[in-house]
Every structure is written in C-alpha cells, then in structure tokens.
C-alpha cells in the first residue's frame, strides 16, 4: 500500500487539489474527494497523514515564497528526514511549484487585500458645448469609468468627469506616485 | 486588468451618474507578511478618492492596485491628456 503513496502519478493531481483548496478558494475539495479520485486503493487511515504531510509541505513552500534554490534545499531536507518524502515525490513537488508559483502567489496577494481592488478602467473624451444661449464654448471633457471591488464581491463602478485642467492636475499627482515607485524599485 | 495592454477608449458607462473628483490621496505600500503568507513582499499603490456627485454629496472611495496596474493607469491618463489637448 505504501508503494501506492510513493508513486508520483497521483501526487501531481493531489497538489493541484490542495492548491485549489488552500489558495484559490475552490470549494468542495474534501479529503474524501481527493482520496476517492486519486488514491482509492490506499486505506483512509494511511491517506490522511500523507495528505496532511503534503499540505504542510505545499503551505511551507508557498508561505516562504521559495525561490528555486530554497526549494531544492527544503525538499532535499524533507527526503532525508524520518517520515519525510521520497526523491520521486520531491521531483513532483518541485515541478508543481515551478509551474504554479506565480498563480499561487497571485491568489495569496489577493487574499491579503481587504480593500477594493482596481478591476478596470475605461475612458472617452467628449467635446462639450456650453449653453446654447451664451457664446459657444467647446470645453472638452474626459469621462473615466473605474471598475473596482472587494475580493469575491460584485464590481462597483465610479464615473468621473475631468476637464483639461483637472486632467493635468491629476496627471501631475500621478507622476509623483510614479517617482515614488521608481525610488522604491531602485532601493529594492 | 494589470496584464492587459493599452485598451481602446471604449466607454459604455455602467454608472448612471458622473461625479467630480475633488481630491485624491495616495500611498505606496509594501505588504510584508500575512497569516497566509509569511513572505508576501507585495508593493501596491492605494488611492483614496474624494468624489462629489451632482447633488454635491461627497463620498470617499479607496482603491488598491498592483504596481503594473498603477503604471497602466498612469499610461492611460497620459493618453487622455494627449487626446484632450487636441479636441
């Protein structure tokens, strides 16, 4: 039976299921589901600690946002310890992290954001005439629509009107942000 | 939105009312760690928008964005500025 667990074919699937549950918020990925789908031959009492071990390893890797050097060192240590993992399993885990790292990190970042996140931006510029009873003044207007929302919630929309002066003022403020970002990136 | 290239200026307004931006505040933050992820290392831009609707009622909205999202936002704003000058 232990041989079943040591095999790598189902491990990839297991890691995917664990990631869906732990990071991407996919509902319904239960221990029973993973067991019956991926390791049906293995008794549940053996499967449970195996699942817990893999979950723990995946969470450690994700929590530390391990780069590939750290990953190799960590997995090597896991293969050497009592009740650890096999070299084959280490290879599967390594391959999984390499291909899923970015997506998992994105999910973790989204989970840590509790405020509205920007989801979209649309705009148009209208030429606008003032009252037809006074001198025709064409004041162009920019209309900007922001789409934003909290994690897992419906989008909210905000439609803002800017005249040319306001656009320029706002642009100047935004350039201050850009400058700050450059400073931060240089320091990093 | 962060990864999308410059979009065509298509606006099919989903919001009924246009508001005026009275002011905005910004901060550049770095999320270092969280209970889910000890090594988050995630820089972000947060803006607090103060807007007034047609009735004069003032509301605040705070919105967070990633660095690439902000840079896209800034790039689009520059495009708006360029277009509005020529209209």
Q: Where are the domains of chain B?
A: 19-86
Q: What is the pLDDT of residue B83?
A: 94
Contact B40 A112 (CB under 8 A): yes
Contact B63 A168 (CB under 8 A): no
Distance from chain centroid for Cα B22: 15
pLDDT above 60: residue A186: yes
Q: What is the pLDDT of residue B8?
A: 45
- Which of B7, B12, B16, B18 is the best mutation test for A, with the most CBs of A within 10 A? B18
Q: Assign B12 a pLDDT band (cuts: 50, 70, 90).
A: low
- Per residue in B57-70, pLDDT tens? 999 999 999 999 99
Taking residues A115-121, report their average pLDDT. Answer: 94
pLDDT above 90: residue B17: no
Q: What is the DSSP letter of A153?
A: S
| Closest residue in chain B to residue A156, using alpha carbons only | B15
pLDDT above 60: residue B71: yes
Q: Assign A8 a pLDDT band (cuts: 50, 70, 90).
A: confident
Q: What percent of chain A has pLDDT over 90?
A: 77
Q: What is the pLDDT of residue A74?
A: 97
State the fold for domain B19-86: Nuclear Transport Factor 2; Chain: A, (3.10.450)
Q: Which is more confidently placed, A188 or A58?
A: A58
Q: What's this model's pTM, rounded to 2 decimal places?
A: 0.77
ipTM: 0.81
Nearest to A86 by CA among A96, A71, A95, A76: A76
Q: To the nearest whole angstrom, how far is the Cα of B86 from the nearest Cα of chain A?
A: 9
Q: To the nearest whole angstrom, how far is the Cα of B44 from the nearest Cα of chain A?
A: 9
Q: To the nearest whole angstrom, how far is the Cα of B42 from the nearest Cα of chain A?
A: 7
Residue A117: strand pairing partners: A149, B64
- Cα torsion for B33, A31, A104, A61, to the nearest 10°? 60
Residue B86's contacts (CB-CB under 8 Å, 6 or more residues apart) are: none
pLDDT above 60: residue A33: yes
Q: What percent of chain B has pLDDT over 70?
A: 82
Pick from A109, A159, A162: which is nearest to B40 by CB? A109
**A53, containing H or E segment:** helix A44-63
- Per residue in A75-93, pLDDT tens? 999 999 998 999 999 999 9
> Do residues B78 and B45 make contact, with C-beta atoms less than 8 angstroms apart?
no
Taking residues A41-65, report their average pLDDT. Answer: 94
Contact B1 A119 (CB under 8 A): yes
pLDDT above 50: residue A1: no
> Do residues B62 and A115 make contact, with C-beta atoms less than 8 angstroms apart?
yes
Contact B9 A181 (CB under 8 A): no
pLDDT above 50: residue B3: no
Contact B34 A161 (CB under 8 A): no
pLDDT above 50: residue B11: yes
Q: Which is more confidently placed, B51 or A111?
A: B51
Q: What is the pLDDT of residue B70?
A: 96
């Amino acid at each position: 039976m232990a041989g079943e667990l040591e095999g790598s074919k189902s491990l990839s699937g297991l890691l995917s299921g664990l990631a869906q549950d732990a990071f991407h918020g996919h509902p319904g990925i239960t221990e029973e589901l993973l067991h019956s789908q991926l390791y049906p031959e293995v008794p549940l009492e053996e499967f449970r600690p195996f699942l817990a071990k893999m979950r723990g390893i995946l969470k450690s890797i994700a929590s530390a946002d391990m780069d590939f050097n750290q990953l190799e060192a960590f997995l090597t240590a896991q293969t050497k310890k009592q009740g650890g993992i096999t070299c084959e399993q280490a290879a599967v885990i390594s391959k999984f992290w390499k291909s899923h790292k970015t997506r998992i990190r994105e999910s973790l970042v989204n989970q840590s954001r509790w405020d509205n996140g920007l989801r979209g931006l649309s705009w148009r510029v209208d030429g606008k005439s003032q009252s037809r009873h006074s001198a025709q003044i064409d004041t162009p207007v920019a209309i900007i629509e922001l789409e934003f929302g909290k994690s897992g919630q419906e989008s909210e929309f905000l439609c803002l009107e800017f005249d040319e002066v306001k656009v320029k003022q706002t642009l100047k403020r935004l350039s201050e942000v850009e400058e700050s970002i450059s400073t931060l990136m240089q320091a990093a | 939105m962060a990864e999308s290239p410059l979009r065509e200026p298509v606006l099919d307004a989903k919001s009924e009312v246009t508001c005026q931006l009275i002011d905005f505040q910004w901060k550049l933050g770095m999320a270092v760690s969280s209970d889910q992820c000890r090594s988050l290392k995630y820089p972000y831009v947060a803006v607090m928008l103060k807007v007034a609707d047609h009735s004069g009622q003032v509301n605040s909205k705070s919105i967070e964005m990633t660095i690439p999202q902000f840079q896209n936002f800034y790039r689009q704003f520059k495009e708006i500025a360029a277009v509005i000058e020529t209209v």
